[in-house]
């Protein structure tokens, strides 16, 4: 059953994330149809900004409701609402409508994506059991987001921009019965509550699940769902810097949806839709990063023999080994390669290689952050990961809005170099934890409850 559930959530993640970025290659067509101009500001990106804002904000309210409703029903309802939201994206008659419905589409995808970490923890036991499914899930999440422009470009080459959504609608509809069969309820408290309710109906016995006895008011649940991640973000320096690190890595995928078009259209005279195919280089890098994460899991499990604090258990900081070269040599070096090979005299494959290096780094960084936070914060991991997911979507929503102006004013070389310098600074976050991670966990009021149990 665990494999079926894992297959279902990974497949759904891969296909729904395509919706976020596939529209970016159609900016020129959409601008012409709705009278939108990108001359002074990238107004065409608002449809992606609204999508990411939905992904950031809707889960804050939706996930607590899903805790009571259950994963299966919550997941299927969110997926069904997402499929419905694709219809007005395809038939929108004005730009404002497109922006609004994209917000709700992103919100549904945010719900689907944010709940998956909990599902994996429910169906896979122990660090060794969870590592592979978590890596595969992160790969589908990143690749689905990255490959959107590739799929959009292939559609736009033959059809108009509305068919990007029509074709998605067909795929999403076909897969709904598949997910209906594969997704099962995984939350123990929800399963026990339903069994207790069934016993009361059939036998009339006064039987209640613990979750019913200790149930909190919905308003209190919503308040805690927002307050705890916020408090942790501002008081836990590890979470603060890891959120910035992961959010920047994730945000670069969306920056590329803007910068690649400028670079390859200006330097190599590629048509707008063809620039979407360049994202394949990032996908290749992310795939190599996923394969490398299997070796990272091996290093992590081996660290148990060196753990003095909790003998026999892997060291949380061992999750970060691969992310150090991934961040320095992947994201940082890749951005500099992309920056200084973006020149008419240099073959297009050179900046594409730089993009592939960045893709490798993104995969290693996001995986390291997710798995480390899960291990280090344990019972508080859901709140910590909620803060990170919120930060990632905010970066993805707003960071690319500066890309057009930045690349025009600084030039291709220095604009990407500026991103490279930011990546370089953030790359020291895992290095600091590899040196002082144990001390950081002992001083943290949240992590210390895990470290000494």
pLDDT of residue 407: 86
Q: Which residues contact 386 (CB under 8 A, 6 or more apart)?
A: 59, 60, 63, 114, 225, 229
Q: Hunting for tokens 């990063």 — which residue is that?
A: 289
Q: Is 298 helix (H, G, I), strand (E, B) or coil?
A: helix
Q: Which two tokens stand for residue 196?
A: 């207790």
Calpha distance 276→25 (Å, rounded): 6
pLDDT tens sequence across 128-187:
667 788 888 899 999 999 999 889 988 988 889 999 999 999 999 998 898 888 877 766
Contacts of 177 (CB under 8 A, 6+ apart): none
Backbone angles phi, psi at 10, to 5 degrees: -70, -40
**Residue numbers of the chain with a pLDDT score lower than 50:** 452-453
pLDDT of amino acid 38: 76
Query: What residues have CB less than 8 Å from 31, skipping those under 6 apart?
Result: 37, 38, 43, 44
Rounded to whole angstroms, the Cα distance separating 48 from 68 reads 31
- SS3 assignment, position 344: coil
pLDDT of residue 3: 62
Domains and CATH numbers, the chain: 1-207+225-445 (1.20.1250.20)
Rounded Cα distance between 376 and 379, Å, is 9
Question: According to the model, what pLDDT value does residue 126 have?
Answer: 67
Within 8 A by CB and 6+ apart from 425, the residues are none
Longest dimension (CA), the chain: 81
State the pLDDT at residue 304: 84
pLDDT at 420: 95
Q: Which helix (DSSP H) or strand (DSSP E) does residue 208 occupy?
A: none
Name the token pair of 324. Answer: 């150090």
pLDDT, tens digit, 9 for 90 and up, residues 143-157: 999 999 889 988 988
Total-model pTM = 0.89
Q: Which two tokens stand for residue 12?
A: 């759904």
Burial 132-168 (b: 16+ CB within 10 A, else e): ebbbbbbbbbbbbbbbbbbbbbbbbeeeebbbbbbbb
Q: Which pLDDT belongs to residue 5?
A: 62
């Amino acid at each position: 059953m665990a494999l079926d559930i894992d297959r279902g959530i990974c497949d759904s993640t891969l296909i729904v994330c395509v919706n976020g970025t596939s529209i970016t290659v159609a900016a020129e067509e959409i601008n012409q149809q709705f009278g939108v101009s990108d001359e002074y500001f990238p107004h065409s990106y608002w449809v992606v900004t609204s999508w990411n804002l939905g992904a950031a904000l809707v889960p804050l309210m939706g996930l607590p409701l899903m805790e009571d409703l259950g994963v299966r029903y919550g997941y299927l309802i969110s997926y069904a609402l997402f499929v419905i939201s694709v219809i007005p994206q395809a038939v929108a008659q004005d730009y404002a409508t497109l922006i609004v419905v994209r917000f709700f589409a992103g919100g549904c995808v945010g719900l689907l994506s944010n709940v998956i970490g909990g599902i994996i923890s429910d169906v896979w036991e122990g660090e060794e059991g969870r590592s592979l499914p978590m890596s595969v899930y992160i790969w589908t999440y990143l690749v689905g987001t990255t490959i959107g422009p590739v799929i959009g470009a292939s559609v736009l080459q033959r059809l108009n921009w509305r068919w990007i959504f029509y074709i998605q609608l067909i795929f999403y509809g076909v897969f709904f019965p598949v997910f209906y069969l594969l997704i099962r309820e995984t939350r123990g408290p929800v399963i026990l509550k339903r069994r207790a309710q069934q016993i009361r109906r059939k036998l009339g016995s006064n039987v209640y699940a613990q979750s019913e006895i200790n149930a909190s008011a919905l308003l209190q649940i919503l308040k805690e769902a927002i307050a705890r991640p916020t408090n942790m973000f501002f008081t836990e320096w590890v979470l603060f810097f890891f959120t910035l690190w992961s959010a920047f890595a994730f945000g670069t995928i969306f920056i590329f949806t803007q910068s690649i078009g400028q670079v390859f259209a200006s330097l190599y005279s590629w048509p707008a839709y063809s620039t979407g195919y360049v994202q394949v280089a990032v996908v290749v890098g992310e795939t190599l990063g996923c394969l490398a994460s299997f070796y990272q899991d091996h290093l992590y499990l081996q660290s148990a023999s060196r753990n003095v604090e909790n003998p026999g258990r892997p060291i949380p900081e061992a999750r970060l080994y691969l992310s150090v070269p991934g961040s320095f040599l992947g994201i940082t070096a890749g951005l500099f390669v992309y920056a200084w090979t973006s020149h008419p005299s240099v073959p297009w494959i050179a900046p594409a290689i730089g993009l592939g290096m960045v893709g490798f780094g993104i995969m290693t960084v996001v995986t390291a952050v997710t798995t480390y936070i899960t291990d280090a914060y344990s019972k508080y991991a859901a709140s910590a990961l909620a803060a990170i997911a919120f930060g990632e979507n905010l970066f993805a929503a707003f960071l690319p809005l500066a890309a057009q102006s930045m690349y025009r004013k600084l030039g291709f070389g220095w604009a990407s170099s500026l991103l490279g310098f930011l990546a370089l600074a953030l790359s020291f976050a895992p290095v600091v934890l590899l040196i002082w991670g144990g001390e950081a966990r002992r001083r943290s009021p949240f992590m210390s409850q895990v470290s000494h149990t």
